[in-house]
Amino acid sequence: MSFASLGLSAPLLKAVADQGYSTPSPIQEQAIPAVLAGRDVMAAAQTGTGKTAGFTLPMLERLMAGKPARGNQVRALVLTPTRELAAQVGESVSIYGQNLKLRSAVVFGGVKINPQMMRLRGGVDVLVATPGRLLDLYQQNAVRFDQLEILVLDEADRMLDMGFINDIRKILNLMPKRRQNLMFSATFSDPIRKLAQGIVNDPVEVSVNPGNSTADTVTQWLCPVDKKRKPELLLKLIGENQWEQVLVFTKTKHGANKLTRYLEGFGVKAAAIHGNKSQGARTRALADFKSGAITTLVATDIAARGLDIDQLPQVVNFELPNVSEDYVHRIGRTGRAGAKGQAVSLVCEEELEFLIGIERLIRQTVERRTIEGFEPVHPLPESKGAKKPGRRSGSNRGQSRPHKEHKDGQRPAGSAQARRRSRRPRSTQPAAAVS
């Protein structure tokens, strides 16, 4: 099947061809015709399978036929959980819409709001936004939704995980009742389906992979190691394997900064990216990583779904995430679009609970490789709760959830995550660019 057979017009087909694509991915093949037909859609697929183009292309096609947006009005709204993902989606809208007379903008927190307000004055056909900044703009009368035709929730499960449910409900109350609704995500959990009941109407449901599965193109393995020796082991893996581009995940912002300083002290070109970094610093770090100016990018989970790096070969879990689903999204940064990738986890005895949850979720046991000289003093017990591939397993009820990131990337005071801490351990699109 070709993109032409899906019903896209010549300007969009040219933009797709210019990017080197000739055949739609399974999620695009199923979702694009449904969106073009005006249906509400719920689509789930692994990261790196083309979900963004799956809604961007038909959305632009439908907007071509309507009237341009009036001042401060928006015709299509794409909500994303993070700044990086907003920038990535905004870049896709610009690339695929390069031959169309449509205006688009990207808005998120962490940068000055006035330039964004100025760009919205003339109205935009497509607005990509994070929830907090969108509400700020609405409260300042910078954006209105009387002309809204299409609403897209991108990575809806992540938005719920990050605590955006109240903001989403507020935004939904501002929307006209008659609109097309699209929900695209890596997974559709029970909470997502409950949210969908109040949004989508008789949706076409598309799913091209089992929920919470990992891509076959990603080779997964783990190294048992004592916690205090993790930095040293990571340095050894980078050096001996000559990794020239590796994305490393930590659980905390402080941990990301500390690990970055450690690696730089041994001559590794590294940078950290997390919510406390300014948007300019985050954008520069990502650009340098893509260009090869730095070889190691150390990130927190806020970046897990917002980083789109072609042919990224290595992902390292320096620390396992508390929430099992985040493991899937972390390693989904590699092995994208059919390319091969490798995901390595450095696991200490204290993380056994998290490892058990991950292996239950992905329904497979992650291969263990003990590195000579790094044998743990405290052995990593077998995760007896893990299931062999192909067997069904239980859920991960009771795990802690990620905190909500405000528009400036900070943890809100009194958040549920903050209250739980005492009980449990724990692309480069410019902001508000208009095309």
Q: pLDDT of the chain along its 435 residues, tens only? A: 788 899 999 999 999 999 888 889 888 999 999 999 999 999 987 666 788 999 999 999 999 988 999 999 999 999 998 888 898 899 999 999 999 999 999 999 989 999 999 999 999 999 999 999 999 999 999 999 999 999 999 988 778 877 888 999 999 999 999 999 999 887 777 777 888 888 999 999 988 765 555 667 788 999 999 999 999 999 999 999 999 999 999 999 999 999 999 999 999 999 998 878 877 888 888 889 988 999 999 998 765 555 667 678 899 999 999 888 788 878 877 766 556 789 999 999 999 999 999 998 888 889 999 999 999 998 887 766 444 444 333 333 333 333 333 433 333 444 444 334 333 333 333 334 433
The residue type of 430 is P
- 426 found inside a domain: no
Q: At what angle do helices 51-64 and 10-18 cross, to 10 degrees?
A: 150
Contact between residue 63 and residue 34 where contact means Cβ atoms under 8 Å apart: no
Distance CA 164, CA 319 (A): 25
Residues 332 and 301 in one domain: yes
- 310 found inside a domain: yes
- 412 found inside a domain: no
- Tokens representing 403? 């905190």
Residues 325 and 230 in one domain: yes
Contact between residue 299 and residue 273 where contact means Cβ atoms under 8 Å apart: yes
Residues 271 and 333 in one domain: yes
- Cβ neighbour number for residue 291 with a 10 Å cutoff: 9
Residues 88 and 225 in one domain: no
Distance CA 179, CA 427 (A): 29
Residues 170 and 235 in one domain: no
- 418 found inside a domain: no
341 pairs with which residues across the strands? Answer: 218
Contact between residue 357 and residue 349 where contact means Cβ atoms under 8 Å apart: no
- 213 found inside a domain: no
Tell me the CATH number at 386: 3.40.50.300
Tell me what pLDDT residue 407 has: 37
Domain that holds residue 248: 218-402
Contact between residue 246 and residue 342 where contact means Cβ atoms under 8 Å apart: no
CA–chain centroid gap for 432, Å, is 19
User: Which of 158, 181, 207 corresponds to the end of one domain?
Assistant: 207
- 68 found inside a domain: yes
Residues 46 and 84 in one domain: yes
Residues 197 and 223 in one domain: no
Tell me what pLDDT residue 223 has: 95
* Inter-CA distances, 277 with 10, 254, 346, Å: 41, 11, 25
Tell me what pLDDT residue 348 has: 95
Tell me what pLDDT residue 324 has: 82
Residues 48 and 167 in one domain: yes
Residues 257 and 341 in one domain: yes
Contact between residue 416 and residue 90 where contact means Cβ atoms under 8 Å apart: no
Contact between residue 296 and residue 266 where contact means Cβ atoms under 8 Å apart: no
User: Which of 151, 176, 207 corresponds to the end of one domain?
Assistant: 207
Residues 362 and 393 in one domain: yes
- 415 found inside a domain: no
Residues 374 and 274 in one domain: yes
Residues 229 and 158 in one domain: no
- 136 found inside a domain: yes
- Tokens representing 279? 């948007």
Tell me what pLDDT residue 388 has: 47
Distance CA 200, CA 221 (A): 39
As for how many domains the chain has, the answer is 2
User: Which of 141, 175, 207 corresponds to the end of one domain?
Assistant: 207
- Cβ neighbour number for residue 384 with a 10 Å cutoff: 7
Tell me what pLDDT residue 25 has: 87
Tell me what pLDDT residue 145 has: 97
